Amino acid sequence: MTMNTKNRKKRLNMKEKYKHMTRLGWETSYQDMDKVFPYDNYEGIKIHDWEAWEDPFRMTMDSYWKYQGEKDKKLYAIIDAFAQNNAQKNITDARYVSALKLFLTGVSPLEYQAHRGFAHVARNFRGDGPRVACQMQAIDELRHVQTQIHTLSHYNKHFNGFSEFAHWHDRVWYLSVPKSFFDDARTAGPFEFMIAIGFSFEYVLTNLLFVPFMSGAAYNGDMATVTFGFSAQSDEARHMTLGLQAIKFMLEQDPANVPIVQGWIDKWTWRGYKVLGLVSMMMDYMLPESPQSWKEAWELYFEENTVALFKDLERYGIKVPDCAGTVAAEKDHLSHQIWMTFYTHGAAAPFHTWLPDEKKMDWLSEKYPDTFDKYYRPVYEHWAKLEKEGKRYYSEMLPQLCQTCQIPMLYTEIEKGEPTQIAHRHTIFNGERFHFCSDHCKDIFENEPEKYTHAWMPVQQIFQGNCGGATLPEVLDWYKVKFGTDNLDYVGSEDEATWKQWHGQE
């Protein structure tokens, strides 16, 4: 008996297999395609050939499940080992936990928002290549929020300030900054969402969110956070490539797409930078041991790496975002101004604050030689004197919020050379005055005023009687923040007492 090899089919190579396993779309016959995909043509982006979309990783759903399943198995083993060995006792200092509170309560709900956003885009692109890629990223984001909640769950057993994170996302004043960022992105069209999250945040800014903070977690002995952070970062590398592919796909399809894409890059780089102001404060002030300053991270990840990317995009007519000059001017001031705001408004936030000690101030002087000793050290020394005299000040005033980014009007006129002068812009729309922290936020508002006039502004909602009452205790009760337990100074807190008990320092 001889084997007949003449009719044996040739095995598919990887490119052919990928095509057959991802190109699963079809032209509709009894419904108009524009009715099936109503959202991918109203933004003005012209797509002539959806088949031109290329996934650089050529990952199929089959390989995705195998790869991610194996990775998550190892990740959860480390998280479980961290919990079983009570490794929370091995962090440098319980002040570090306040940084973790800010990160986990601020970022985890955004991962879920990203999941919903990419799932929406995956449904509404008529090209099946980007649909599959966005579907995988939607699942990634859901896995990320799950792993972060596992970490949050462990710390919630030992420290205050974690228990109501989902509730806080919708109500607490400073968390409206990241929330409004994603609300804005998710209510945009699918192409703008891809530039907002897929490119501007994932490609341009994500390294500033994950890499420096995870390095800080490692420096401070928190291996559970390091593990979920670097597990997520391995996905971020694929997300960054997806974002870059998305922008190149749009730019190569039609020259008329270039000015639209440039406008979105300008807007979303600025909006993402404003959200990352919270990270600058964590890096410089909230980590007991800081491996890198915010200024150093910005210079490395944006001024060196990202500007090189924009040189590559120049051939399409794309230029560096118009906010780059403003951000460069603010890098010497950003973290100090934000931490000072939280120190004075610490009664209304569910984490602890403190004044930097001499060791930290010397480190800040070294990292910010042109600004810290001149503008900020004298203020901290004055506040330290007041604390010793029993005159610690907590503001009960409601700060004016920027209508676009929703950050309190704390920034100063740095670009104009007036770092002690509060920056303030305003505009009139339909007879009503709106306020802004910068020219960039004002420009974003004036380009789509109808969208931002409907923003849920925490301070205005309190004034309108929608937040439990007019006094701080009533608002904190509506927030579900326990006064004296979740907030105020670290010194004298239950978190500090727990830490001292563990280490025999009572």
3-state secondary structure of 491: coil
Residue among 312, 320, 317 at smallest CA distance from 265: 320
CB–CB of 49/253 below 8 Å? Answer: yes
CB–CB of 442/428 below 8 Å? Answer: no
Backbone angles phi, psi at 91, to 5 degrees: -70, 165
408: left (phi over 0), alpha (psi -120 to 50) or beta: beta
Provide the β-strand partners of residue 436.
425
Q: Give ∠ CA 439-444-447 in degrees, rounded to 5.
A: 120
Residue among 413, 404, 415 at smallest CA distance from 326: 415
- The token pair at 79 is 């998280």
What is the DSSP secondary-structure string of 24-89? Answer: -----SSS-HHHHSTTSSSSS---S-GGG---TT---HHHHHHHHHHHHHHHHHHHHHHHHTTGGG
CB–CB of 322/441 below 8 Å? Answer: no
Element at 429 (helix H, strand E):
strand 425-429
Which pLDDT belongs to residue 3? 54
322 vs 178, 188, 270, 449, CA distance in Å?
A: 22, 21, 9, 20
Backbone angles phi, psi at 490, to 5 degrees: -65, -45
What does DSSP assign to residue 11?
P
Backbone angles phi, psi at 230, to 5 degrees: -75, -25
Residue among 125, 128, 123, 120 at smallest CA distance from 26: 128
Which pLDDT belongs to residue 427? 97
Element at 356 (helix H, strand E):
none
Q: Report the Cα–Cα distance between both ends of the chain, in Å, rounded.
A: 87
* Helices of type H across 125-205: 128-156, 165-171, 176-186, 190-193
Q: Print burial letters for 412-445: b (CB count within 10 Å at least 16), e (below 16).
A: bebbeeebeeebebeeeeeeeebbbbbebbbbbb
Burial class (CB in 10 A: 0-12, 13-18, 19+), 42: exposed
Verdict on whether the full-model pTM lies above 0.85: yes
pLDDT per residue, tens digit, the chain (506 aa), is: 455 556 666 777 777 777 777 777 788 899 999 999 999 989 999 999 998 987 777 778 788 888 888 888 888 888 888 889 998 999 999 999 999 999 999 999 999 999 999 999 999 999 888 888 899 899 999 999 998 899 899 999 999 999 999 899 999 999 999 999 999 999 999 999 999 999 888 877 877 877 777 888 889 988 878 877 777 777 877 888 888 889 999 999 999 999 999 999 999 999 999 999 999 999 999 999 999 999 999 999 999 988 888 988 999 999 999 999 999 999 999 999 999 999 999 899 999 999 999 999 999 999 999 999 999 999 999 999 999 999 999 988 778 899 999 999 889 999 999 999 999 999 999 999 999 999 999 999 999 999 999 899 999 999 899 999 988 899 999 999 999 999 999 999 999 999 999 998 87
